[in-house]
A and B are shown apart, each in its own frame.
Chain A
């Protein structure tokens, strides 16, 4: 039976975001792409269990997360090369964020507990609601909210910031401005 064209497009459209989520989980692009590949194979083999009209992205994210937790997480520390490889993929970055600050952010994110990191990424970057993220992570909505809050607090701690004034480039700029007065 051929796959429905709308379903095929929905799967295809979800791939970029699925990769970004996988990289945030794995910390390594090659392993993340393998994870995406295995996720797609599983999803396509079980496409009949996808309910038309529901969120394809959420369905794929759920499969990817479950597969990661059952197969990948235990391997994580053995194969970790993380940051260098990640930085390699991210060749450019938005001008408004300084390089040092951006690197510090990625390093801090990599240090978060996996539960907190995935909650933060799902809600803060993938654009899922707390309810959708709770469904993907198979936990209560309140648990997701709590993990996101703890993730943000921990990130700020790791980056040594407790107010917006303390972000690197701004801090320097303000110091210069202040000394000129």
Chain B
């Protein structure tokens, strides 16, 4: 039932649940939106670091070499 509350309420409830868990209850079932956002930010930062390197020459050469040639 808790899972389909409006977003604001949901976040508060999840945060409260997370704090309760700190005191030694069961593992957290869901993460707060803040934690999810932070994890997402780090994941994208890591990923984009590679994306921003562009296309290395070896791959551009590979694709261009095949382009315009017979494949056989």
Instruction: With both chains docked as a complex, state the minimum distance between the C-beta of A180 and any C-beta of chain B, in angstroms.
Output: 23
Q: Classify the interface of chain B: helix, strand, loop or mixed.
A: helix
Q: A20-B47, A20-B50, A162-B35 are in contact. Are A3 and B66 (CB under 8 A)?
A: yes
- Closest chain-B Cβ to A175's Cβ sits at a distance in Å of 16
Contact across chains for A163 and B70 when beta carbons are under 8 A apart: no
The answer to whether B54 has its CB under 8 Å from any CB of chain A is yes
B50–A94 CB distance below 8 A: no
A55 within 8 A of partner (CB): no
Beta-carbon contacts under 8 Å, A138-181 to B: 149, 152-153, 155-157, 161-164, 167
State the CA gap A14–B15 with chains docked (Å): 38
Q: Nearest 4 pairs between A and B by C-beta?
A: A164-B34, A125-B47, A20-B50, A162-B18
User: B residues touching A (Cβ–Cβ < 8 Å)?
Assistant: 15, 18-19, 21-22, 27-32, 34-56, 58-60, 62-64, 66-71
A-B contact pairs, 7 of them (CB 8 A): A12-B59, A20-B50, A93-B49, A153-B29, A153-B30, A162-B31, A164-B37
